[in-house]
Chain A
Amino acid sequence: MSDVALDALERRGIGLSVCAVSHAYRGLKALEGIDIEIPPGEVTVVVGPSGCGKSTLLGILGGLVAQEAGEVVLHGDPGADCLNPLTYVFQDFALLPWRSVAGNVSLVLEDHAMDKAARAARVAEVLALTGLTEFADAWPRQLSGGMRQRVGIARALAVRPAVLLMDEPLSALDAQTRDLLLDEFAALIARTGVTTVYVTHNLPEAVRLGHSIVVLGRRPGRVREIIRIDMPLAERRPDDTALMAIEQRLWALLRDDAAEAARELA
């Protein structure tokens, strides 16, 4: 990704507290007593087996799911230019097919009092940052999955988010695109320092991006363990033995639940 205007996107000092959050769907407990501190400027990855409530938790953080109990508190001032403090990046991209790439990115900006030139400048800035400048006028249907997700990222960055909420953003992509985009995410997050909550079931993604990895157990989803990784994102390599050991530890924690989930889904 381009270096253009990275400084303008830097946003530090915004953290989140998830306090005793519980949720149920039609009487079935999905999440119970979730307490997590999401430190400012860090990536908190949430992993867990299918049906453990990872996406529900992210929905609660983003205000898209009303929790039954507990609260989510945002710490710090997102700044005057932040148009949407808690900003989602969606698994299925959620792009408007009737808007061009630039149109999708400017969608939210149009809803705010911002003159045309400032809006165009901000759109150009995030398109450059995500390597989409030459695709500004393309329709989403003309783009590959990886490029569509770049548009999703550009749209999210355009609102100067305080916290990025990423819901399995790479799961709809092929393995090669996923690896490439994962490196770009890591670089972008490291450079901007934006606080990020990243939900995934993919353990290599978790150890590649996470400063903290929250492991959820299933039915109801509870925090089983929180693993810290202090290695800087820029230094992480897929063949790093320390990271591989953490990945194995995560798998050991999740294996039984994942097997149970697979049997249930089958």
Chain B
Amino acid sequence: MLQDRRVPFRASGYNPQTYGAISLLTLIATIALWQLAASQGWISTQFASSPEAILQSLRNLYASGELWEHLSASLQRLAIGWVIGTITGIIFGLLLGLFSIARSSGMALVSALFPIPKIALVPLFIIWFGIGEGSKIVTLVFGVFFPTVINTVAGVDAVPRGLIRMGQSFGLRPLSIVAKIVLPGALPSIFAGFRITTATAIVLLVAAEMIGAEHGIGAFVLQAGNLYATDDLLAGIVVLSLLGLCVSFVVGQLERVLLRWR
């Protein structure tokens, strides 16, 4: 004989949340453990330094003005390289997304050039553009350009054709269709690209600065490494990490404002 049973709830899980307190505690615990390991001699401070020493190094760099000297050089390169790469990438992406001939020829080139590790091109850019700012900026532009093109094309492809047909059915001018339908429709994908290209740009910035730069966080880190100054080296890495976080925050805020309709 069948018995009465309560129907169990079976749809729990598979919906992970982020708890801010746990995230913060994990970060603090990691730093505390590192500090403990360094102060107890479990790890050699010659190789890994300690959070306290890194903080002291950051203070010294800030007080001497050296931090700003390196950071401003890096920020300038990052801003110029990223902005040029992004603007040209979006323009090319739109052309490739909208026109058959541009897509047929352009995608072949993009597919061929995109997989090249951009760091491998730094020596070539130095030969072409000299050891100065030109080669570093071009490295960043090159690294930002291709992912931006690819994400813009994907974004244009993702714009519902029905919306474009709507614009055409209302007799909108082609430029209006691009500016008011295609570009805003592609923006979520373009922004997804920004998250990749800002991270890529920081990687390439450091690489380019490690090859023949006097100022810049990359040059500073390399110099500290050559001198076995692990405090300074790790302080430089902390600055890069904070730089990455700040850039990601700015992109996130821009996304919140420009894509608030989602």
**A residues lining the B interface (CB < 8 Å):** 62-64, 83-84, 86-88, 90, 92, 94, 96-99, 107-108, 110-111, 139, 141, 155, 159
Contacts and interface: CB of A to CB of B under 8 A. Distances in A.
B170 A96 contact: no
B165 interface: yes
A138 to B, nearest CB: 11
Interface residues of B, number: 20
Given A83-B171, A108-B170, A111-B172, A97 B165 contact: no
A160 to B, nearest CB: 12
B187 to A, nearest CB: 8
A173 B172 CA distance: 28
B143 to A, nearest CB: 29
A86 B169 CA distance: 8
Contacts of A87: 169-170
Contact of B173 (A63, A92, A111): A111
B184 A94 contact: no
Given A90-B162, A94-B162, A107-B180, A159 B170 contact: yes
Contacts of A63: 169
B163 A84 contact: no
B44 interface: no
A90 B166 CA distance: 8
24 contacts: A64-B165, A64-B168, A83-B171, A84-B169, A84-B170, A84-B171, A87-B169, A90-B162, A92-B162, A94-B163, A96-B163, A96-B180, A96-B181, A97-B261, A98-B185, A98-B187, A98-B261, A99-B261, A107-B180, A110-B180, A111-B171, A111-B173, A141-B262, A155-B170
B46 interface: no
A190 B185 CA distance: 37
Contacts of B173: 111
B111 interface: no
Nearest to B261: A98
Interface in B107-153: none
B176 interface: yes
Contacts of B184: 96, 98
B60 to A, nearest CB: 48
B9 to A, nearest CB: 29
A94 B165 CA distance: 9
Nearest to A100: B261
Contact of B170 (A97, A98, A107): A107
B67 to A, nearest CB: 41
Contacts of B166: 88, 90, 94
Max count, chain A CB within 10 A of own CB: residue among B166, B173, B261: B166
Contacts of A86: 169
A87 to B, nearest CB: 7
Which 5 A-B pairs have CB atoms at the shortest separation, nearest pair first? A94-B166, A88-B169, A98-B261, A108-B170, A98-B184
Given A64-B169, A87-B170, A111-B176, 17 more contacts: A84-B169, A88-B166, A90-B162, A94-B162, A94-B165, A96-B181, A96-B184, A96-B185, A98-B187, A98-B259, A107-B167, A107-B170, A108-B171, A108-B172, A110-B180, A141-B262, A155-B170
A166 to B, nearest CB: 12
Given A83-B171, A96-B181, A108-B170, A141 B162 contact: no
A83 B170 CA distance: 8
A62 B162 contact: no
Contacts of B171: 83-84, 108, 111
Interface string B164-204: 01111111110010001100110100000000000000000
Max count, chain A CB within 10 A of own CB: residue among B184, B259, B261: B261
Contacts of A111: 171-173, 176
A57 to B, nearest CB: 15
A88 B168 CA distance: 10
Interface string B219-262: 00000000000000000000000000000000000000001011
Nearest to A99: B261
Contacts of A84: 169-171
A87 B172 CA distance: 12
A63 B261 CA distance: 31
Nearest to A86: B169
Nearest to A63: B169
A36 B176 CA distance: 34
Nearest to A91: B162
